[in-house]
Amino acid sequence: MSLVKLSLFLLFCVCCEAQLRKEAFMTVPNLIRAAGYPIEKHRVTTQDGYVLQMHRIPAGRRSARRTGDPGAKGKKAILIVHGLIGSSGDFVIMGPERSLAYLLADYGYDVWLGNLRGTVYSTHRNLTRSDPKFWEFSFHEHGKHDLPTMVDGVLNVTGLPKVMFVGYSMGTTSFFTMMALKPEYNDKVISFVALAPAVFMDNIRPLATLFMNLDFANIMRSQGTLSLDPQVLQRLIAALCNPRQPEYDLCTNVLFTLVGEDYEQNDVEMMPIYMHRIQPAAWRQLEHFAKIAITGVFQTWSGGLAIPGKPYNLTNVKVPVSLLYGENDQLTDKIQIMRLADQLKSTGTLEDVRPGCSWPKFNHLDFVFAKDVGTLFNKPLIKHIDTLYNKYGPE
């Protein structure tokens, strides 16, 4: 290779890395703006004082260019809520033609991305993030406060009576919790599409038991570590992992044990970008999931694993629900999702339960991060959403 070629190649590499870094550190609104979509930020405040920033994409890329007016009057509104250690960024991170939010906006939807308490897009009126009280929450509070407030926020701004709702992983746990605690919200939702629903989790009982037996959360709390800190996680990953060679990488292998192995759909180029976008988790979130997994009952935390909680009443869910699972998802596995399906069927609200896509290795993360998530999953998903909208939406 000539010296010129070599230096051009090196320059190219440096630019690539710089590009990755830039994307990794961009806020979600800046990422959306850079992709050429209109973006609005809306702040909503929960009854218990958390201020949540919602990200709205009111129009598609082409229509925004053509009219210069990102108006969303008369459009179908849809609210999408992320999972544990995720944020609104999960639905734009793969870029146009791949990520759900962009595809929906291009398809004509008025897209609202939620951010739950704990993400970098949340603050509290009275508490700082270094106050232990800030971190006293699990999906119980997401369901009781965050989701109802975000639903009301969408309805307030759009003037619509109802919104379509999509949840991913813990976003679904939070949805079922909301309906159990506040069934009046059935009247504000058209239909619910649950991606990798996490309600029964008996399959992770061994891991949950280990986590609780080690008393991990309490040890961390007693040392002043208030949350699962993404920076610590990132440092650990940087020291131990080599995601560019996933087949030989310890971390990828550990991760795949948890979420299901799928080397083919693992986008190596995107790894450094996700790493920087990981959101903090409250210990209580993990403890509450552990309680569900260990007891096999979808119930409240109520102060501890050993304390009997109050079961969340799934009979209160009245809107049509679709459950989409990954054939190779080891975290929210099919058997547990079928158990949820049986309950919803018995109360007459189960619309559909089926694999999210035909790819047999589709795992827990593929719902948002698969290399071909646009064609494999999101485009068929939008057809499904549109069918539901036409069936149950306003005339």
Q: How far is the CB of 155 from ligand NAG (least distance, A)?
A: 8
Q: For residue 312, what is the DSSP state?
A: P
- Yes or no: say if 178 and 145 are a contact pair by the CB < 8 Å rule: no
In three state form, how does the secondary structure of 82-143 look? Answer: CCCCCCHHHHCCCCCCCCHHHHHHHHCEEEEECCCCCCCCEEECCCCCCCHHHHCCCHHHHH
Q: Which CB, 113 or 195, lies closer to ligand NAG?
A: 113
Site of interaction with ligand NAG (CB under 6 A): 44, 48-49, 125-126, 149, 152-153, 156, 313, 315-316
Q: Which residue is nearest to ligand NAG (CB)?
A: 49
Q: How far is the CB of 51 from ligand NAG (least distance, A)?
A: 10
Report the distance separating Cα 102 and Cα 90, nearest Å: 11
Q: How far is the CB of 239 from ligand NAG (least distance, A)?
A: 39
Question: Where does the chain show beta strands of DSSP type E?
Answer: 40-45, 50-57, 76-81, 109-113, 122-124, 163-168, 189-195, 227-228, 281-282, 321-325, 350-355
Q: Which CB, 152 or 327, lies closer to ligand NAG?
A: 152
Report the distance separating Cα 150 and Cα 115, nearest Å: 9
Phi, psi angle pair for 355, to nearest 5°: -65, 140
Which string of DSSP letters, residue by residue, matches 48-70?
TSEEEEEEEE-S-HHHHHHHS--
> Is 140 annotated in the active site?
no
Q: How far is the CB of 267 from ligand NAG (least distance, A)?
A: 36
Q: Which CB, 49 or 393, lies closer to ligand NAG?
A: 49
> Is 364 annotated in the active site?
yes
Q: Which CB, 21 or 125, lies closer to ligand NAG?
A: 125
Residues 6+ apart with CB under 8 A from 125: 45, 49, 50, 51
Q: How far is the CB of 312 from ligand NAG (least distance, A)?
A: 10
Q: Which CB, 152 or 202, lies closer to ligand NAG?
A: 152
* Number of residues in the chain: 395
Catalytic residue of the set 169, 174, 191, 322: 169
Report the distance separating Cα 187 and Cα 183, nearest Å: 8
Tokens 């549109």 locate to: 386
Q: Which CB, 126 or 213, lies closer to ligand NAG?
A: 126
Q: What is the largest distance, in Å, between two alpha-carbon atoms of the chain? A: 72
Q: How far is the CB of 143 from ligand NAG (least distance, A)?
A: 15
End-to-end Cα spacing for the chain: 66
CA 201, 204, 209, 210 dihedral sign is negative
> Is 329 annotated in the active site?
yes
Q: Which CB, 347 or 358, lies closer to ligand NAG?
A: 347
Q: How far is the CB of 184 from ligand NAG (least distance, A)?
A: 12
Catalytic residue of the set 82, 140, 288, 364: 364
Report the distance separating Cα 193 and Cα 349, nearest Å: 12
- Yes or no: say if 135 and 118 are a contact pair by the CB < 8 Å rule: yes
CA–centroid distance for 228 within its chain: 17
Catalytic residue of the set 90, 262, 329, 333: 329
Q: Which CB, 134 or 369, lies closer to ligand NAG?
A: 134
Q: How far is the CB of 156 from ligand NAG (least distance, A)?
A: 4
Residues assigned a catalytic role: 169, 329, 364
